[in-house]
Structure 1
C-alpha cells in the first residue's frame, strides 16, 4: 500500500506518525494554498475591502486572507460588502476547522510516549546455557513431595537483558514472551514462560510481580519439558526459522499514556554456551547501585566465565548509570 492509499485509508494515524519535517512542509503548503485560494476570491472585488487604497493588488487580498485566517484583526483591512463578508464567513469557518485538526495532531505527536521505546534497551544477543538460575518445582521436574521449589543452576535456559536508560519511571510494566516458528507453510506462535531476575517469597501459583524497571532485567525462559524449545539445538533454530519475540507494555509516569516497545532474536543472535557479563554493582561509598550499560550485550563463553559474578570489576572509563531506588 502506497503513502497516498494509506492516507486515504487511515488519515489520522498517517498524519500522527508523519515525521516532523513532513508536518512542517505540509502545514506550510496548506497555509500558502489556503490563503492563495481565498485571496483569489477576494481579488474579484477588492474594492469591498476597506483600507486597500486606490490601486489594490492581489497581494492586498492575500494579506487580508492571512489576517482573516489568523483572526489577527489589526483594523487596517476590513470587509465592507455582502460578497466579501460572505467569503470571510466561509474562510473563518474553514480555518477554524483546519486549525483545530492540525493543533490536535501536533499535541498528539508531542504528548505520545512513542520515543520512549528508544530509551528501553534490549541486549543485542540472547544466550542459552546451563548456568542460568531456573526455578524448579514438583510439577515440572518430578521432584519429591517434600520439595517446595526454588532456584537452581544446571538447568537449560534462554536469557536476555533489558535496561531503562531514562531516569523517569515506567508504571505497571508488563512483559510478554513469544516464540515464532515455522510449521510447514505456516507460522505458529507459542507463549513462553519466563523469570525476571530472581523472585522469591511469593507462591508460584500467583502471578509474579514485575521488579523495579530502573534495575536491569534478566529475562530467562526455562527450557524444560513444557517449553517448545525442549530438545532443540542450533540447527533446529536455523531450520525452523525460530524467532523469540519480547513485548513490553507500560505507562509513562509523566504523561500517564501507554507505551510499548518490542525486540526479537533470531538464530544468529542467540549464543549457545555463553553467559552475560555482570552489569550491576554497588558503590561502596554512596551505596547507590551502578549499572555498567556498556555490558548490556557483552557475553563470554562459559569456559571463560568467572566463578563469581562479583569478580568482574567495572572499568573507570566505562559508562555508569547511578540509581537511587525509592
Structure 2
C-alpha cells in the first residue's frame, strides 16, 4: 500500500534519513559560518554556570605557551604577595634573621622572599618563623605550595601529553578541472615531522533550502570523494570531490552558492604514531572562499635521495579553464 503524504511514519522515515552535522536545521543565518577556519565551532552559549563558563582546566591546557607561563608566574607572584602581607601584618619581629637579610631591601620584600622560600619548600634557613601564629601561617603556606606545584606539574604534563596537530589546510577551496569533468578540491599538509597513518577525511555540504511549506531550513549532504582514506599521510593530500550529475554541487554557480549560504565542512582524522593516539582536526570553507577555474601547483619535489615538501606553496595556484 502506498504511503500517504501525511503519514506520520513516512515523515519519521524521512527524518531518520535526513543528514545532519549536529548544528540542526535552524542555523540559516547568512552572516555566520558553522565552523571557523581554525576548527572551532562558531557557537556561543548563554545561561552557563560560572564553573562551566570559566572552564579553568580547559583554558590552561589549551591556551598558548606564553600565556600559560604568564598565568603561572602571575599566580606565583600573587600568592607570595598575599603571604608577605600576612607576615608583615603579624610583625617582622616574628621572623628570626630577617634584619640581617634585609639590609639592602625593604622589610616587606624580605618577607616576600621568605614567603617564596616557604612556598617552594626550599627553606634556606637564614630566616625562620618565631611564635605559634607565624609558624601556623608558614605551615599553611608550605602545604599550599605542595598542592600548587602538584597542580602545575599536572597541567604541564597535560599540555605535553596532549597532541597538538599542525595540519595545514589550503586557504581556498578550488573548483578545478578533474579528469573529463570538474572537481571540488582543497589541499592538506601535516606541518610536523611526526607521522599520521590511517588518515580519513569527510566532507559535508551545508546550505539553506526551502522545504515544502516554503520555510528556509539548513540541509546537509555528504560529498563523495575520489579518495577518503590514505594509509600513510607522509606528504600532502589533495582531497577531491568529483562533480558528477549525482553530486549536490552539480550545476551550482558562485551566485547560487552565495544565495544558499553554502559551506563545506571538513573533518579529518588520523593516528599519530608518536603519541599513539587519534588526531582530529576540522575546518570549513564558506562560499566566499571558493575559487573557480584554478588548480594547485605541485608542492612535492625531489631533493637528493629524498623528497621535499615546500609548505610555502600550499596556497599557490595557476589558471585552469573548467571543463564544460
Cα 1:48–1:300 change in 2 (3 A) is closer
Gapped runs of 5+ residues in structure 2? 1-44, 211-215
Corresponding residue number in structure 1 for 2:97: 51
Assess if the C-alpha contact under 8 Å between 1:171 and 1:250 holds in 2.
Answer: yes
Counterparts of residues 98-247 of structure 1 (less than 5 Å): 98-114=148-164, 116-117=165-166, 120-129=167-176, 131-132=177-178, 153-184=179-210, 185-196=216-227, 209-247=229-267
* 1:10 maps onto 2:55 in alignment: yes
Q: Structure 1 residue 35 and structure 2 residue 66: aligned?
A: no
Deviation at 1:192, TM superposition (A): 1.8
Measured after TM superposition, the shift of residue 237 of structure 1 is 1.3
Q: CA deviation at 1:97?
A: 1.8
Q: CA deviation at 1:71?
A: 0.7
Task: Judge conservation of contact 2:87–2:134 (CA < 8 Å) in 1.
Answer: yes
What TM-score do the two structures reach when normalised by structure 2?
0.69
Report the Cα offset of residue 12 of structure 1.
1.2
Deviations 1:173-217 (A, max 9, x none): 232211121235443332222123xxxxxxxxxxx6414211221
The alpha carbon displacement at 1:8 in A equals: 4.9
What RMSD in Å do the two structures reach over aligned CA positions? 3.4
Instruction: Provide the rounded CA distance (Å) in 1 between the counterparts of 2:278 and 2:158.
Output: 13
Three-state SS of the structure 1 residue aligned to 2:232 is coil
2:286 paired residue number? 266
Q: Are 2:71 and 1:26 aligned?
A: yes
Aligned to 1:212, the other structure's residue is in SS state strand
Structure 1: state its 5+ residue gaps. Answer: 133-152, 197-207, 306-326
Helix, strand or coil at the partner of 1:210: strand
Output the CA distance in 2 between the equivalents of 1:249 and 1:172.
Answer: 8
Instruction: With a CA cutoff of 8 Å and minimum separation of 6, indicate the structure with the bigger relative contact order.
Output: 2
Q: Distance in 2 between matches of 1:55 and 1:92?
A: 21
Partner-residue secondary structure (3-state), 2:149: helix
Query: Whole-Å Cα distance in 2 between the matches of residues 279 and 28 of structure 1?
Result: 43
Q: How many positions carry a matched residue from both structures?
A: 267
Residue in 2 aligned with 1:203? none
1:158 CA displacement: 1.4
CA contact (8 A) 1:181 1:243 kept: yes
Q: CA deviation at 1:258?
A: 4.1
Structure 1 length normalisation: TM-score?
Answer: 0.68
Deviations along 1:8-61, whole A, 9 cap, x unmatched? 531111222333443343333322321222223323144443333599843443
- 1:97 is matched with 147
Question: Which whole-Å CA distance do the structure 2 matches of 1:300 and 1:54 have between them?
Answer: 75
* Distance in 2 separating the partners of 1:112 and 1:55: 44
Q: Answer yes or no: is 1:299 the counterpart of 2:317.
A: yes
Cα shift readout 1:130-152 (whole Å, capped 9, x = no counterpart): x42xxxxxxxxxxxxxxxxxxxx
Deviations 1:263-290 (A, max 9, x none): 332334323343333444556x73x344
- Structure 2 vs 1, CA of residues 88 and 230 (structure 1 numbering), >3 Å: closer, same or farther? same
Mapped contact 1:170–1:250 kept (Cα < 8 A): yes
Determine if contact 1:6/1:14 at 8 Å carries over to the other structure. Answer: no
